[in-house]
Amino acid sequence: MSSKQSAHELDELNAVDLESKLREAKEELFNLRFQAATGQLESHGRLRTVKKDIARIYTVVRERELGIRSTPGSTKTEEANA
């Protein structure tokens, strides 16, 4: 993830894309933590941004599970019938 992801941008992604974004963000967080531990990290603010991106992704996934957010491509009538 090269930049901050908004919740509205994440709403437009399907479950597979969200999972891949989550995987990328976790990998980036791992690398940033490794750089911080070795003293090579240039931007400590990036750690915070990546953590918040991960939280946003988890929030969108959980809200879809609870039916708070709709999945992309579905309509309100489809969700009401489910």
Question: From CA 46, how far away is CA 20, in angstroms rounded?
Answer: 19
State the pLDDT confidence band at 1, using cuts at 50, 70 and 90. Answer: very low
- Answer yes or no: CATH 3.40.1210.10 is held by domain 7-81: no
* Of residues 2, 21, 3, the one with CA closest to residue 11: 21
Which pTM value belongs to this model? 0.79
pLDDT in tens, 32-58: 999 999 999 999 999 999 999 999 999
pLDDT in tens, 3-28: 677 878 888 889 999 999 999 999 99
